[in-house]
Chains A and B, each alone.
Chain A
Amino acid sequence: MCRLSGSLLIFALLGASYTLGAEASPVAELPAGPTQEKATAACASCHEARIIVQQRLSKAAWTKEMDKMIKWGAEVDPKDRDALIDYFSSNFGPDQAAYEAPRTTAKALTKRPTAKH
């Protein structure tokens, strides 16, 4: 009660465009590019793209990651391997700005019942 009204007060004062209950898709996406679809198919069955887009790695490190993931079951056509490594290292190289992670909602902002666990 106190917390809910407090949060509403904050929103009123900030004039935020945030609407109660609005949520981003919880799962991140890979950036557009010729290999976006293939990269998504290879990676997203085991983990979302967010774990990729937060990395800032050299091409050598991306090559190592790619080969580890292929060993761990990522379905990559051998003829696509190099293009995928290029795609990851050009989008998520050491010089890119840091990834800005979202946050989880606070309880007072969701209309969902609190999970009992």
Chain B
Amino acid sequence: MRWTKVSSRREFLKSASAGAMAALAVPSFLNAAGQTAISVPGKEGLIVRSYRFLDLETPVEFLTDWITPVQHFFVRNHMFAPAAVEGKEWKLAIGGQVEKPLSLTLADLQSVPVHSVTNTLECAGNGRSLQSPKVPGVQWGKGAVGNARFSGPSLKALLEKAGVKDTARHVVFRGLDVVPGKVPPFVRSIPIEKAMDGDTLVATQMNGAVLTPHHGYPARVIAPGWAGAASCKWLTEITVQDKPADGNFMIPGYRMPNQPVKPGETVKPEDTHSVTGLTVKSLIAGPRDGAKLKPGAQVVRGVAWAGEAEIQRVDISTDGGASWNPAKLGKDQAKYAWRLWSYPWKPAHSGDYAILSRATDSQGRVQPESAVWNPSGYFYNACDQVKVYVQA
């Protein structure tokens, strides 16, 4: 009963139900545009950024569990998802700079020891719509992020089976996505160090169940702590080579300026670098932006993550950033996984409040007051903020 002090009828009704019922944010089915909801089997109450191809965002109010249920996990597709992939017919080719090229079946993967990693997966473009001036791309709000337990063989174990040559520097992934028109295929690479890290997976399971088609059945890469684009879905081909992949989604796609640029400025490709690890970030899951709260005790809660680093603290301000106090971090933790946090709050008086959250990580990175603008809208990580009204 997390919302018992929230007074709107919608919130009251939500508070009267438990757990997953919170997912049924009823008014969202009839939004301002008068649209009713869209059915996507296996995906409940998510924000439709695109239906064809499918891009779904998790409403921040769903982000109250350490492990995000699959039905609430965001979906990011660059192309069309492949038509039903038959696990029995699926093959994974490993080639390039290897001693022994391989063609592995799902059964072959299942004969390799299973490794599990709880990973916070975030789209590099999460928060793009909050940038000003706006930049082209899927206009994600805050929720292209989730935390799940992924399991499968480590990529390292598979590459060792094939025998990586000394010339190997990068590992390229290709999925079974269906590419329309003359669109360049979604092919990207990661450096050999990340590929051989041991925690980088060819995952076949998510939260203890077989991967769903939306998340890359039968196998996907998980490059933990890195922007989601490194974690290729519907994986079908791994190529080891002496240089990075060079397609559109490596250059000019998924790159950050080497130096900060003025909002609206263009950047030459040679002055950019490929996105890798996620930055430090927190989100407020509740109370919701715009909520009207009854007077009395409240709990501000949310999540915080830092890619390959660890969250050290989350501070909360209930006065628009004038003063800050530490939130309590949740007990669940794992390398690459976000931390839940909570902050008990008793508003001193009625009126408007701006609540902010600010995360700090083990590398000393602190969530900034405003995010660094960049031409592709990646890694938006300004301190999160919700505005609420406390009634008299």
> Are A and B co-members of a single complex?
yes
Say which residue of B26, B39, B42, B139 sits within 8 Å of A117 (CB atoms).
Answer: B42
CA of A109 to CA of B45 in the docked complex: distance in angstroms? Answer: 10
CB 8 Å contact bits of B25-63 with A (1 = contact, 0 = none): 111111111011111111111111111110011010000
| Extra contacts besides A26-B51, A105-B37 (14): CB < 8 Å | A3-B24, A9-B13, A18-B29, A47-B180, A54-B49, A54-B129, A73-B180, A94-B133, A101-B31, A104-B37, A104-B48, A105-B44, A106-B23, A106-B44
Interface residues of B (CB under 8 A from A): 9, 13, 16-17, 20-21, 23-33, 35-53, 56-57, 59, 71, 129, 133-136, 138-139, 180-184, 210, 212-213, 217
> Is the contact region of chain B dominated by helix, strand, or loop, or is it mixed?
loop
**Cross-chain pair count, CB within 8 angstroms:** 166
Residues in A with CB closer than 8 Å to B134 are 55-57, 94
Q: Can you name the residue of chain A whose Cβ is closest to the Cβ of B210?
A: A117
Say which residue of A98, A101, A117 sits within 8 Å of B213 (CB atoms).
Answer: A117
Residues in B with CB closer than 8 Å to A3 are 17, 20-21, 24
Residues in A with CB closer than 8 Å to B35 are 24, 100, 102
CB 8 Å contact bits of A86-117 with B (1 = contact, 0 = none): 00000000100011111111111110101101
A65 and B136 form a contact (CB under 8 A): yes
Interface residues of A (CB under 8 A from B): 3, 6-7, 9-11, 13-14, 16-18, 22-24, 26-28, 45-48, 50-51, 54-58, 61, 64-65, 71-74, 94, 98-110, 112, 114-115, 117
B71 and A107 form a contact (CB under 8 A): yes
Instruction: Pick 30 A–B contacts, CB within 8 A, sort by A.
Output: A6-B16, A6-B17, A14-B9, A14-B26, A17-B30, A23-B39, A47-B50, A47-B52, A47-B53, A47-B180, A48-B50, A48-B51, A61-B136, A72-B182, A98-B129, A100-B32, A101-B49, A102-B33, A102-B48, A103-B29, A104-B39, A104-B56, A105-B37, A106-B44, A106-B45, A107-B44, A112-B41, A114-B42, A115-B42, A117-B217
B37 and A102 form a contact (CB under 8 A): yes
Residues in A with CB closer than 8 Å to B53 are 47
CA of A6 to CA of B198 in the docked complex: distance in angstroms? Answer: 45
Contact (A46, B180) CB under 8 Å given A10-B13, A61-B136: yes
B26 and A26 form a contact (CB under 8 A): no
CA of A59 to CA of B2 in the docked complex: distance in angstroms? Answer: 46
Q: Can you name the residue of chain A whose Cβ is closest to the Cβ of B38?
A: A26
Closest CB-CB distance, B137 to chain A, in whole Å?
Answer: 8
Say which residue of A24, A99, A108 sits within 8 Å of B36 (CB atoms).
Answer: A24
Q: Can you name the residue of chain B whose Cβ is closest to the Cβ of A21?
A: B39
CA of A50 to CA of B23 in the docked complex: distance in angstroms? Answer: 23
Residues in B with CB closer than 8 Å to A13 are 9, 13
CA of A50 to CA of B181 in the docked complex: distance in angstroms? Answer: 18
CA of A100 to CA of B47 in the docked complex: distance in angstroms? Answer: 10
